[in-house]
Amino acid sequence: MSEQSRPRALTEPAQLRAWTDEARAAGRRIGLVPTMGNLHAGHLSLVAAARERADAVLVSIFVNPTQFGDGGDFDRYPRTVDADLAALADRADAVWLPSVEAMYPFGPGAATTVHVPGLTDVLEGAHRPGHFDGVASVVTRLFNQSRAEVAVFGEKDYQQLQVIRRMVADLSAPVEIVAAPTVREPDGLAMSSRNGFLDTEQRDRAGLIHRVLSAMAGAARAGTPLPAVEAEAMAALSSAGFESDYAVLRRADLSEPAGAGEAEVALVAARLGQTRLIDNLRI
Ligand code: PAF
């Protein structure tokens, strides 16, 4: 791929400002795809969705320290900027690569935080305290910096998508949120940067998560009582060597359904060795 087709790499706030000024002056609609890099086909599908809705496509790559816990995940998150820029050639117009200082001028620990109550207390929020505050805060900054009119997020991170939608509604943020479907490997495993941490044997087993989700959706549709469906899913994961945080059925807004007919999404979070995988399936 030729060097010319690579997106413009913007590393300073002033460069991003100039790029957004230029796009806006030309009447171009800015579409943002926020990422933490280590791009795979799932990310590229988000970029394609942005391209369909915007004239100037900006991808941000920022490994956000405020959304990681203490487990060392931040340090071991893969940084692959060169490969990412190559993958975005002919797909994105610009890539925003801020430093931690550009994102958090007074330091990540002292930064103003956006908290979305309620929705962030359950599921991922319960297992990763503070995670969604970090996500909502950095995404707010990215919206403000990019002045995007549309932003695309993956359904793979279902709860994140709900948190961002709620935040945008609560704060009247002038940005349209678009959800893009999960991209899967042939065995159903949702594409994720974390899949790269799985060894060959774990990778072979990881497709079970999608099969479990499909079984949960099928059982809910058939009217099986929800506690039985959830218990069976946990047992199936456990007997295959997964350590599960949850395997649950919820309404689309993540509230608890009263009965099988009200379940709209199945969600699983499970660990294989050191690697924590999450996935979901709409019913
Ligand atoms: O989904 C992600 O990759 C991150 O949570 C996001 C939205 C880029 C914020 O850092």
Span 36-44, average pLDDT: 98
Q: Where are the domains of the chain?
A: 7-180, 193-277
Same fold flag, 7-180 and 193-277: no
> Dihedral of the CA atoms 257, 157, 103, 95 (nearest 10)?
-150
Say which residues have a Cβ less than 8 Å from residue 93's Cβ, sequence separation at least 6: 7, 8, 56, 57, 58
Pocket test for ligand 1, best of 135, 156, 194 (most atoms within 8 A of CB): 135
Check pLDDT > 90 for residue 73: no
Q: Is 187 annotated as a binding residue?
A: no
Confidence of residue 231 (pLDDT cuts 50, 70, 90): very high
Q: Is 193 annotated as a binding residue?
A: yes
Pocket test for ligand 1, best of 45, 160, 162, 165 (most atoms within 8 A of CB): 160
Ligand 1 proximal residues by C-beta, below 6 Å = 34-36, 64, 67, 135, 138-139, 157, 160
Residue 259: strand, helix, or coil:
coil
Fold of 7-180: Rossmann fold (3.40.50)
More confident residue, 73 or 129: 129
Say which residues have a Cβ less than 8 Å from residue 193's Cβ, sequence separation at least 6: 36, 38, 40, 77, 78
- How many other C-beta atoms can be found within 10 angstroms of the C-beta atom of residue 259? 10
Task: Return the residue whose CA atom lies nearest to atom 9 of ligand 1.
Answer: 135
User: Nearest to residue 153, comparing CAs of 144, 145, 165, 161?
Assistant: 161
**For the residues of 195-258, what is the DSSP string, one character each?**
GGGS-HHHHHHHTHHHHHHHHHHHHHHTT--HHHHHHHHHHHHHHTT-EEEEEEEE-TTSPPPS
The atom number, within ligand 1, closest to the CA of 154 reads 1
What is the CATH number assigned to the segment(s) 193-277?
A: 3.30.1300.10
> Looking at residue 70, what is its pLDDT?
80
Is 43 among the residues known to form the active site?
Answer: yes
User: Nearest to residue 223, comparing CAs of 263, 282, 265, 267?
Assistant: 263
Say which residues have a Cβ less than 8 Å from residue 189's Cβ, sequence separation at least 6: 195, 203, 206, 207, 209, 210
Check pLDDT > 50 for residue 1: no
User: Do you know the residue count of the chain?
Assistant: 283
Q: Is 5 annotated as a binding residue?
A: no
> Looking at residue 181, what is its pLDDT?
98
Q: From residue 195, how far is each of 13, 202, 254, 282 by CA, in Å?
A: 32, 9, 25, 22
- How many other C-beta atoms can be found within 10 angstroms of the C-beta atom of residue 283? 20
Check pLDDT > 80 for residue 228: yes
Span 181-201, average pLDDT: 97
Q: Kindly report the pTM of this predicted structure.
A: 0.96
